[in-house]
Amino acid sequence: MTFLFTIEEVFEVSGRGCVIVPAIVEGADFKIRPRDAIQLRTPEGLMLNTHIVSVEFLKPEVGACRMAIVLPPDVLRHNISRGSDVWLTTG
């Protein structure tokens, strides 16, 4: 497994599902794509195996675009918290 990032923000988009936003880390360099298998590890000790549905970009009113990762519909927002770590389990 390869550590990817820590989750900075989690939210839901109606009709799309749960979305996670990686924390910005200086010099971070990782490659992900739809269907990649990942594991979410919450600070509370929950481990959830899932996959990436899509990689999107958020355009805030101020600042640069940010990456957003859409998860499958069976992943519920209340099961993931800020500070959770995301690990790549494939590749």
Q: Can you read off the two tokens belonging to residue 44?
A: 């509370």
2-88 classified as CATH 2.40.30.10: yes
pLDDT above 70 covers what percent of the chain? 91
Domain boundaries, the chain: 2-88
Is the model more confident about 89 or about 30?
A: 89
Q: From start to end of the chain, where are the E strands?
A: 2-13, 17-22, 37-41, 47-51, 54-58, 66-70, 85-88
pTM of the predicted protein model: 0.86
Does residue 85 have a pLDDT over 90? yes
pLDDT of residue 90: 74
Place of tokens 């979410």: 40
Residue 66: is its pLDDT beyond 70? yes
Query: Is residue 86's pLDDT more than 90?
Result: yes
